[in-house]
Amino acid sequence: MAGQGVDRTLLRRMAAAIAHRGPDGEGFHVDGAIGLGHRRLSIIDLEGGAQPISNEDGTIQVVFNGEIYNFVELRKELEDRGHRFKTRSDTEVIVHGYEEWGTACVTRFNGMFAFALWDSRRAQLFLARDHLGIKPLYYTRIGTRFAFASEIKALLADPACPRAVSLSSLSQLFTVRFVPSPATMFEGIHKLPPGHSMLVDRDGPRVERYWTWKPRVRRPERESELIEEYQSLVADAVRLQMRSDVPVGLFLSSGVDSGALLAMMRDHSQGPVRTFTIGFQDGEGSNETDDARALAARFGADHDEMIVGPADYQRYFDRYLLDLEEPVGNETAAAFYFVSLIARRKVKVALTGQGADEPWAGYHRYIGLQLSQLYSRLPASLTNGLLRPLVERYARHPRLQRGVVALSERDLLARMVKIYSFFSMDMKTQLFLPWVKAQAHPDGREAKDAIGRLQRDVEQLDPLSQMLYIDTRASLPDDLLMVGDKTAMANSLEARVPYLDFRLVEFVESLPPRFKLSGLQGKYLHKKALRKWLPKEVVNRRKKGFDNPIDRWLRAHLKHYVNDSLLSRGAAVGRYFDRSYIQQLVAEHESGRRNYLRQLYLLISFELWHKQFIGS
């Protein structure tokens, strides 16, 4: 925090609010108008890496969350330039890197990070967030003070920090299922976007984009050469992310992404790799436990698993949004909490296969985007006059409904927004109360503006490449990565994502789209490359992801959550949304006439979030 004098008691209270992110120690630095607080999860240099860490004369102080994976190479380079280190930690590389390269140091870091560096000589605060937004960084202005933290809870530890719903963000949430950076669901609290830094001095805060990479399709090369290059990059990312002074485990599914990580991790481990998988009660059709157990045995892993039931979810729901701090339309989100829970019993660090789907076109929606080129050539009398009304009226599957609505849209940006949307414009018009509609527009213009800023970077590229670029910088950091970080850190566990080494992302984004989506096969070159480590039957296994039977649970074991959360007299949703329309959604879902699981889940998430943070 920075401003006119630092309240040391408040600084300690802010740090205590995120003690789960660092249960191994705390540290503070106060210098007039600047106060830095840190909670430590000790992973590198267990004895000497306590923060804040300073330079030799104490004029530079840094607090840091995350890891700089290439710190060994950077340290050698800096020592060759005359810098002297007093610890073995990766944190100290930030200090000397800033002394050597100034604010451009951040372009040299390969890692996941959010850090704050105070330069007392220049009287400036330098903040930065990693390229892909793996680690969160929030900030706000409270009167004359500027405050920042890894979680919103720390900012709210200040009683002067307002707690109010951002109606612009509400519109975005109910349009694209998450709140795109730099906004949050809280009015006046912001996220530093991925790949951005910020300088705060007497002139106020200034945000700059340091990762200025924009995809340029490389000249045609042999597929075999591209596969070799990608294999080399992936192997190096795993090598770097295995750096740790404590054991490193793995979230293991049945699929190709985590399976390949296991094979590579075995090469860098002295003993068996510790692996962790969860399954779901009543989820026999989608559980990955059997296949994951077989993969673990193939590579000699020390394997743990857990079966999660409705009672586990119900207990966790009481604190679910306290961990996430923002509602998301992601019914699989809580699953990451449980796999983190069992992993933390044995390790402090775990690798995950997250992040390979967005750059590599691993979701069904990318196939739909490709089909839209053909669909748009069909006569409007057939598409809008016959197909769309039939699907909207009779199709129960929401993915099919969204797909047909999106396919009918000729404007690319509007089509992308409709692919994301659980709530159509017509549904939002019925859902939002009149006073909300006046400020949170049902047409989704706020979300279009947020995504449009990213689209302008790549508007010269083909539609698929545009959507992959946007997903990698919007839905990935603001939904999946946020969920992964918050639920892991709620268990004091650090989750690392090798497939999001920014060098890999730049490589993938430089490829022609046919190497990502070939016909109807997504992740085309990615899967071919990973055959180096996995048998063909694993590489070609159908993706399951974190599917869970929560729809059946909500209809039965967790049914009271729908009624208590959405239909009770004191429910907060009734202040923003039309209660009779919510009752209609619930009735149609429970009867089986429509599948409104995701719409209801998003409404429940908003209700739980509002109850937790905004109150009455």
3-state DSSP call for residue 140? strand
Amino acid at 324: L
The average pLDDT across 160-186 equals 96
Total count of residues recorded for the chain: 616
Tokens of 139: 């900030």
Task: Assess whether pLDDT exceeds 80 at residue 378.
Answer: no
Task: Assess whether pLDDT exceeds 80 at residue 391.
Answer: no
Weakest mean pLDDT among 224-238, 458-472, 481-495, 563-577: 563-577
**Residue 294 confidence (pLDDT):** 95
Mean pLDDT, rounded, of the chain: 91
Phi, psi of 116 (to 5 degrees): -130, 125
Query: Which band of pLDDT confidence, cut at 50, 70 and 90, is reported for residue 545?
Result: low
State which fold the 223-356+474-539 domain adopts: Rossmann fold (3.40.50)
User: DSSP letter at 223?
Assistant: H
Task: Assess whether pLDDT exceeds 80 at residue 543.
Answer: no
**Residue 5 confidence (pLDDT):** 76
Which helix (H) or strand (E) segment is 580 a member of? helix 579-591
In angstroms, the CA 507 to CA 356 distance is 13
**Residue 551 confidence (pLDDT):** 75
Strand boundaries in 69-144, DSSP class E: 111-119, 124-129, 138-142
User: DSSP letter at 21?
Assistant: G
Provide the angle, in degrees to the nearest 10, between the axes of the packed helices 463-473 and 502-509.
170
In angstroms, the CA 477 to CA 132 distance is 7
Tokens 């909207």 belong to which residue? 392
CB 578 within 8 Å of CB 423: no
Intra-chain end-to-end CA distance of the chain, in Å: 29
Task: Assess whether pLDDT exceeds 60 at residue 552.
Answer: yes
Peptide bond just before 549 cis, omega within 30 deg: no
Task: Assess whether pLDDT exceeds 80 at residue 284.
Answer: no
pTM value surpassing 0.85: yes
In angstroms, the CA 516 to CA 334 distance is 29
Query: Which band of pLDDT confidence, cut at 50, 70 and 90, is reported for residue 149?
Result: very high
Tokens of 482: 């946020």
- Is it true that domain 8-209 has CATH number 3.60.20.10? yes
In angstroms, the CA 449 to CA 492 distance is 36
3-state DSSP call for residue 598? helix
In angstroms, the CA 98 to CA 94 distance is 6
169 burial via Cβ count (<10 Å: 0-12, 13-18, 19+): buried
CB count, 10 Å around CB of 398? Answer: 15
Which tens digits make up the pLDDT trace of 584-593?
999 888 888 8
**Residue 384 confidence (pLDDT):** 57
In angstroms, the CA 515 to CA 519 distance is 10
Domain boundaries, the chain: 8-209, 223-356+474-539, 362-430+440-472, 549-616
63 burial via Cβ count (<10 Å: 0-12, 13-18, 19+): buried
Which residues, including other chains, have CB under 8 Å from residue 71's CB and lie 6 or more apart? 44, 89, 90, 93, 111, 243
Nearest C-alpha neighbor of 37 from the set 56, 57, 17, 55:
17
Task: Assess whether pLDDT exceeds 60 at residue 388.
Answer: no
The average pLDDT across 17-33 equals 96
In angstroms, the CA 78 to CA 95 distance is 11
In angstroms, the CA 349 to CA 338 distance is 15
396 or 557, higher pLDDT: 557
Which residues, including other chains, have CB under 8 Å from residue 331's CB and lie 6 or more apart? 548, 550, 597, 598, 601
Q: Do domains 8-209 and 223-356+474-539 have the same CATH topology?
A: no
**Residue 554 confidence (pLDDT):** 74
Question: Do strands 248-251 and 274-280 pair parallel, antiparallel, or not at all (unpaired)?
Answer: parallel
Listing DSSP states for 382-422 in one string gives HIIIIIHHHHHHH---HHHHHHHHHHT--SHHHHHHHHH-S
In angstroms, the CA 121 to CA 134 distance is 31
CB 261 within 8 Å of CB 269: no
Question: Do strands 274-280 and 302-308 pair parallel, antiparallel, or not at all (unpaired)?
Answer: parallel
Weakest mean pLDDT among 71-75, 332-336, 435-439: 332-336
Question: Do strands 34-39 and 26-31 pair parallel, antiparallel, or not at all (unpaired)?
Answer: antiparallel
The average pLDDT across 101-123 equals 97
Task: Assess whether pLDDT exceeds 80 at residue 375.
Answer: no
Weakest mean pLDDT among 187-201, 239-253, 341-355, 366-380: 366-380
Vertex 377, ends 373 and 382: CA angle to 5°?
120
CB 3 within 8 Å of CB 33: yes
| Biggest CA-to-CA distance, the chain | 75
Amino acid at 513: P
In angstroms, the CA 326 to CA 333 distance is 12
Which tens digits make up the pLDDT trace of 496-522?
999 999 999 999 999 999 999 998 889
Which tens digits make up the pLDDT trace of 401-410?
555 556 666 7
Query: Which band of pLDDT confidence, cut at 50, 70 and 90, is reported for residue 310?
Result: confident
**Residue 560 confidence (pLDDT):** 74
CB count, 10 Å around CB of 556? Answer: 11
DSSP H helical segments within 269-394, as ranges? 289-298, 310-324, 333-343, 357-360, 364-375, 380-382, 388-394
Nearest C-alpha neighbor of 450 from the set 208, 178, 186, 163:
178
Amino acid at 218: R
User: DSSP letter at 290?
Assistant: H
CB count, 10 Å around CB of 308? Answer: 22
CA 71 from centroid of its chain's CA atoms: 24
Task: Assess whether pLDDT exceeds 70 at residue 579.
Answer: yes
